[in-house]
Amino acid sequence: MAKTNFHIVMFPWLAIGHMTPFLHLSNKLAERGHRISFLLPNKAIQQLQHFNHYPNLITFHSLTIPHVDGLPIGTETASDIPLSLNDLLSIAFDRTRPQFEETVNTTRPDFVFYDSAHWIPEVTKQLGIKTINYNVVCAASIAIALVPARNVVKGRLMSEAELAELPVGYPSSNIVLHGKEWNALTFISFPFGENITFYDRITTAIKGCDAIAIRTCSEIEGNMCDYIGNQYGKPVFLTGPVLPEPAEEKLDEKWEDCLSGFEQGSVLFCAFGSQYILEKDQFQELVLGFELSGLPFLIALKPPMGVSTIEQALPEGFEERVKGRGVVWGGWVQQPLILAHKSVGCFVNHCGFGSMWESLMSNCQIVLIPHLGDQILNTRIMAGELKVAVEVEREENGWFTKESVCQAIKSVMDKDSEVGALVKKNHEKWSEKLVTPGLMSGYIDKFVENMKELVR
């Protein structure tokens, strides 16, 4: 008789932007009766335990992250370090293999879900455990950079011209990078662990799995998903965006009081995710752009490079000039609740995959300032294909100015703007489509059916 309820081990990369969507998927699977063992560091358990809606079915297992020379003492997640140290963190991550092996040998799950731990199939195949490589980034970023058809030069960094050569059969001429943006993909040739590059790590991880899963939907990225499946010769299961249920918690009183004093839909909210840190000059151009807009704003960013606090980085006289109208905050905020506040009318963000979906499902106008390669591709989907957002223009050197930030904001917020009217209309169309009753739950139901077929 076919098994109806599975035991699943979750083993994501050590970044909050990976662990969080793995947990959101865990909640959806637990809702359907499946049992989850989730391996993650202590620090991440503290941060994410309030997102565990089924503690009777989702069990957190503490992962001890070994120290690697060059990492700050106590490093457990990518949020603890700059991007440049991810190579060392991946070495530490791989050294947790004995802990993973002990868990699967003891619990003998039906499935293991993973992303960058390329060695997992070596362990699971001997035990007859099925593996699903779960990708929480857009399908386009895999299709353009991490497929066998991508001609990766071994032993050196790739040039802009080499990176700009699209993989054979890549299915879009719009969702691409331009000019110097291609350099955002040089990281695929970087070391990402001991004696392995990022490209080899991810492609090895995908080649070894039983099925590929992607956190997207066919309505937006169907052609990319088909291409990836053909490239790897693997079934591709889609989960949909797997958005969390609306939070039952209330917005902190500090922000409720701050936002409620402004007109409906007038406040600009800006956030760039948990890991990216701006250079000080770009940080100042950003906040000055908000000041120039003349609109009320809340900016939640990490302090820029070279300073320890937000206050040290603000332009001279800035706080006094925007007093009563604008706040720049260096700590964590309740992003979904802020986006849902009636006073917030525009979301300025980096277009990380989580923020991309939160943008689409919100009622806010959307302005995008991508930094990394996958964020640029997400932006091409949002601003280029779906036409639901505006991208901030950059100079030849890749930097944005206060004027370009202000111009993008005004283009979506000015009442008489044709651009603003167009993106608002398209945004309403897409968000209406994505909240169609049964669409998102249908993706999870189909995903579970795919899992059942895999073990038959």
User: Nearest to residue 133, comparing CAs of 148, 150, 119?
Assistant: 119
**pLDDT of amino acid 151:** 84
434 residue type, one letter: L
Q: Name the packing angle between helices 280-293 and 402-413 (round to 10°).
A: 40
Q: Determine the pLDDT at residue 249.
A: 81
**Domains identified in the chain and CATH numbers:** 7-245+436-455 (3.40.50.2000), 253-435 (3.40.50.2000)
* SS3 readout for the chain: CCCCCCEEEEECCCCHHHHHHHHHHHHHHHHCCCEEEEEEEHHHHHHHHHHCCCCCCEEEEEECCCCCCCCCCCCCCHHHCCHHHHHHHHHHHHCCHHHHHHHHHHHCCCEEEECCCCCHHHHHHHHCCEEEEEECCCHHHHHHHCCCCCCCCCCCCCCHHHHCCCCCCCCCCCCCCCHHHHHHHHHHHCECCCCCEHHHHHHHHHHCCCEEEECCCHHHHHHHHHHHHHHHCCCEEECCCCCCCCCCCCCCHHHHHHHHCCCCCCEEEEECCCCCCCCHHHHHHHHHHHHHHCCCEEEECCCCCCCCCHHHHCCCCHHHHCCCCEEEECCCCCHHHHHCCCCEEEEEECCCHHHHHHHHHCCCEEEECCCCHHHHHHHHHHHHHCCCCEECCCCCCCCCCHHHHHHHHHHHHCCCCHHHHHHHHHHHHHHHHHCCCCHHHHHHHHHHHHHHHHHC
Question: What is the reported pTM?
Answer: 0.89
Shortest CA distance to 24 belongs to which of 113, 142, 140, 146? 113
Flag residues of the chain having pLDDT under 50: 1
pLDDT at residue 247 in the model? 65
**Two tokens at 260?**
């409620």
